[in-house]
Amino acid sequence: MKLGFYAVLGKRDYLKLNNKKVGIWELTEYQPAGWLCSLFIKPEIIPQNCPIIHDCGAFGYREQDYPTINSQYVDAQWAANRYRERSCEGDTVVAPDNLLLGNINWRRQYNLEQAQIFIRIAQEKLPDRKPLATIHGLSIQEKIEYGIKLYQLGYKCLGIGGLAQQVASHIMETTNPNVEIIFLTGKLYRQQVIPILQAHNYTTRTPMEGLGIGQQIKWLLNQLSTPKQLSLKL
């Protein structure tokens, strides 16, 4: 797998020029190392001749009791069939997994079982693709132990998941829902953390959302020069 930044591919990442759909990647000077395509979204067009990671779409069904996409239960066989339809030789395909939220023990078992089944299916039916499994865990030790299990199953490509949950858990451990959480980070860094906090009744705010770089710098300088007043909710 080529190292570098993989941009997330949306459903309509194209422009219509002369009645033809032209991908945005054909109009930019600089290209990412590759693209990430989720099973939760079906892009109308997909880049050609570049590395693509086909992801199971776990973030999209993170709040469901059982993982489904379009009312279809997401398991190793279903995912492999979708990857066979969408992916090409050399692409990376991700074993179905689930974020460690809600019924965590069931999700742990699901992740391991699907990883075990998926590697066998991939070797048999997708031999020219690269199977990847995601490491989940609520602690560094759990992530290490799970990563070793995945390697022993035969996975040569591993990803690290659940970072958004880890950040959200740290915030919830050190604060409470009476504290408003203000995000000054970019969208990519906050978009998976905010829904988790809001599900636990936290109020979040993104005051620089929609501002350009110059406007963000101006906003930050104004905040630094403005006297602060501490207020407590009692």
Digit-coded pLDDT (tens) for 35-78: 999 998 888 888 888 899 999 999 889 889 999 999 999 999 99
pLDDT in the model for residue 45: 86
Q: Within this chain, do residues 91 and 188 fall inside the same structural domain, yes or no?
A: no
| Last residue in a domain, options 125, 143, 161 | 161
| Last residue in a domain, options 137, 161, 185 | 161
pTM score: 0.72
Residue 1 located in a structural domain: no
Q: At what angle do helices 104-125 and 140-153 cross, to 10 degrees?
A: 30
Helix (H, G, I), strand (E, B) or coil at 124: helix
Q: Within this chain, do residues 122 and 137 fall inside the same structural domain, yes or no?
A: yes
Closest among 115, 106, 145 to 133, alpha carbons compared: 115
Q: Count up the domains in the chain and report the number.
A: 2
Secondary structure element (H or E) that encloses residue 194, with its range:
helix 193-199
Strand partners, 177: none
Domain region containing 17 = 6-161
